[in-house]
Amino acid sequence: MKKYDLIVLGGGAGGLTAAAGAASLGAAVALVYAGPLGGDCLWTGCVPTKSLIHSAEIIHQSRGAAEFGLDFTGVPNFEQVQTRMQEAIEQIGRHDDPNRFRQLGVDLYQGFGSFMGPHEITINSETIYGKRIVISTGSRPFIPQIPGLDQVDYLTNENVLQLDERPHSLLIIGGGPIGVEFAQSFARFGTEVTVVEQGPMILSKEDDELVPFVARALERENIRLMTNAVVSSVNDSRVTIMQNGQESQVSVDRVFVAVGREPNTKRLHLENAGIRTAANGSIEVNDYLQTNVPHIYAVGDVNGRYPFTHTAGYEGKIVVSNALFGWKRKANYQHLPWVTYSDPELFHLGLTEKEARETIGAIRVYKVMLDEVDRFVINREREGMIKIITDRKGYILGAHAVADGAGEFMQEVVFAKQHGHKIGDLSHVIHPYPTKAGAVQQVADLYWRERLFSGQLTKWVRRYLKWFR
């Protein structure tokens, strides 16, 4: 039986980071992969969806170009949209070429890996031994039990990308990031879109003062948002919806399921290694990303913590030091940002205002509306806001923005928060005029305005100036 310092199960963002990191440090590494290298993000997640979103955005902007003095006419070419998406996958996928990993010294095993024992992994009929093992097998769409759903050819993020033609009408179950990002893109290509969300608000993990900006933008683009609503049955193209106790029916071309994820654990035979899972099937890990079996780690979507590519990569790096060298590096999500690529974009860092009030109590909230920021006024992108939440001393607890480009220009707040800066420090950094990033400085200026120009200080300054003259 071949022996390895590290066996990595799954070749997505988490697994590839762990395998490449460990091999670069000289460890003997085996990478067992069932799907193509690159995982969900490359093939059915971030990369194709962001390409789709970008095409949809160009179409949307060209429709509004008359406002800026240019008039376009034309029909979106869905086939070309798909081609562009495949090109993006192909170009970005070069980083994940199996030969790159072979050159790093990683042994590749293609197939579903499963545990034969706590150190033994079987792939097809071959068994290998790992001193340490990392599980990074990702997740798949969760499919709810809805009468009739299994009788129709429903869409998920996996098969939607293979559509030859755009549907005329689409009903999306779930108003999370997947539902919202696809809803807006398809609406911009001309599809009639309805989103059915069981909760009182779409994008429920976001700051509730910011979400209405996205909801209004979607509604302006004729997307029907049904909150407090569930699909009670599907009968061919007729979908029955229960909303606030009232039943209604709609006829749609296709139904799209986007109600969350389910971890890929079924084929792993975790019981053979004694690995514990939570009620939802995700693999339980401690702060060091160890499962209850200390030499086995779990990173990325499969541990059910924060299902993002950048988290999977971050966790992949942590396990390299913990698994190979026995270090005790903790995964720390306090400064984890994420972005929902709606238009306007939603940026999220740390606590929302509601969470901060509930957990910290005494907080300060500094906000700027986009119609107060020159660059957004120039670009006619005035609907949105930026909010930074601090403790009483000015240390950043959370930052949220709903604005075009928020995912890019808010990153400086992540740096400030992670390195223990106060909000006021962001005000001392010179920002070029007129940029969107300048909005961050405007929010931070509010902190100084509050401290310097209210209360006693102005009185003292006036007295001092009188005396100084």
Ligand X SMILES: NC(=O)c1ccc[n+]([C@@H]2O[C@H](COP(=O)([O-])OP(=O)(O)OC[C@H]3O[C@@H](n4cnc5c(N)ncnc54)[C@H](O)[C@@H]3O)[C@@H](O)[C@H]2O)c1
2/462 with CB nearer ligand FAD: 2
201/293 with CB nearer ligand X: 201
DSSP output for 81-98:
HHHHHHHHHHHHHGGG-H
Which positions from 308 to 347 touch ligand FAD by CB under 6 A, shown as an x/- string?
Answer: xxx-x-----------------------------------
Is 261 a binding residue for ligand X by CB under 6 A? The answer is yes
Q: Could you tell me the two tokens for 43?
A: 């093939």
137/340 with CB nearer ligand X: 340
Angle between helices 177-189 and 211-220 (to 10 degrees): 20
Is 9 a binding residue for ligand FAD by CB under 6 A? The answer is yes
Query: From the CB of 447, what's the least distance to ligand FAD, in Å?
Result: 30
Is 157 a binding residue for ligand FAD by CB under 6 A? The answer is yes
Cα distance between residue 307 and residue 316, in whole Å: 13
Helix (H, G, I), strand (E, B) or coil at 389: strand
Query: From the CB of 233, what's the least distance to ligand X, in Å?
Result: 12
Would you state the torsion angle of the CA atoms of residues 161, 162, 165, 168, taken in this order, to the nearest 10 degrees? Answer: -50
Please say whether the dihedral angle defined by the alpha carbons of residues 405, 407, 411 and 413, taken in this order, is positive or negative.
Answer: positive
- Residue whose pair of structure tokens reads 């949809």 in the numeric block: 56
Is 148 a binding residue for ligand X by CB under 6 A? The answer is no
308/347 with CB nearer ligand FAD: 308
Please choose, from the candidates 152, 189, 151, the residue with its C-alpha nearest in 3D space to the C-alpha of residue 169.
189
Instruction: Determine which residue in the list 62, 204, 292, 442 makes contact with ligand X, applying CB under 6 A.
Output: 204
Angle between helices 13-24 and 309-319 (to 10 degrees): 30
Which positions from 95 to 134 touch ligand FAD by CB under 6 A, shown as an x/- string?
Answer: -----------------xx---------------------
Instruction: Determine which residue in the list 48, 176, 263, 405 makes contact with ligand X, applying CB under 6 A.
Output: 176
Is 314 a binding residue for ligand X by CB under 6 A? The answer is no
Please choose, from the candidates 204, 183, 220, 203, the residue with its C-alpha nearest in 3D space to the C-alpha of residue 49.
183
Cα distance between residue 250 and residue 238, in whole Å: 6
200/361 with CB nearer ligand X: 200
Are 89 and 83 contacting, i.e. CB atoms less than 8 angstroms apart?
no
Q: 403 - beta bridge partners?
A: 345
Helix (H, G, I), strand (E, B) or coil at 357: helix
Q: Which residues of 431-460 are buried (b: 16+ CB within 10 A; e: fewer)?
A: beeeebbbbbbbbbbbbeeeeeeeeeeeee
- Residue 227 identity (one-letter amino acid): T
Instruction: Determine which residue in the list 88, 116, 217, 230 makes contact with ligand X, applying CB under 6 A.
Output: 230
Interacting stretch for ligand X, rule CB under 6 A, among 22-30, 66-74, 177-185, 374-382? Answer: 177-185
Cα distance between residue 154 and residue 198, in whole Å: 19
Instruction: Determine which residue in the list 21, 39, 167, 175 makes contact with ligand X, applying CB under 6 A.
Output: 175
Q: Could you tell me the two tokens for 433?
A: 């005029």
H or E element that contains 457: helix 456-468
Q: Which does 310 bind (CB under 5 to 8 A by kind): ligand FAD, ligand X, none?
A: ligand FAD
Whole-Å CA distances, 469 to 305, 405, 452, 466: 62, 47, 21, 5
Which positions from 262 to 291 touch ligand FAD by CB under 6 A, shown as an x/- string?
Answer: --x--xx-----------------------
32/402 with CB nearer ligand X: 402
Instruction: Determine which residue in the list 38, 113, 130, 174 makes contact with ligand X, applying CB under 6 A.
Output: 174
Q: Could you tell me the two tokens for 18?
A: 């762990």
Cα distance between residue 137 and residue 159, in whole Å: 19
Interacting stretch for ligand FAD, rule CB under 6 A, among 209-217, 219-227, 274-282, 304-312? Answer: 304-312
Q: Which residue is nearest to ligand X (CB)?
A: 176
307/398 with CB nearer ligand FAD: 307
Name the strands in the sheet holding 385-391, side by side, starting at the edge strand that comes first in the sequence: 337-340, 345-350, 396-403, 385-391, 363-369
Interacting stretch for ligand FAD, rule CB under 6 A, among 26-34, 207-215, 217-225, 431-439? Answer: 26-34
Which positions from 117 to 146 touch ligand X by CB under 6 A, shown as an x/- string?
Answer: ---------------------------x--
Is 302 a binding residue for ligand X by CB under 6 A? The answer is no
Residues that bind ligand FAD in the complex, under the rule CB under 6 A? 9-15, 32-35, 39-41, 45-46, 49, 112-113, 136-139, 157, 178, 264, 267-268, 300-302, 307-310, 312
Residues that bind ligand X in the complex, under the rule CB under 6 A? 144, 173-179, 181, 196-199, 204, 230-231, 258-261, 307-308, 338-341
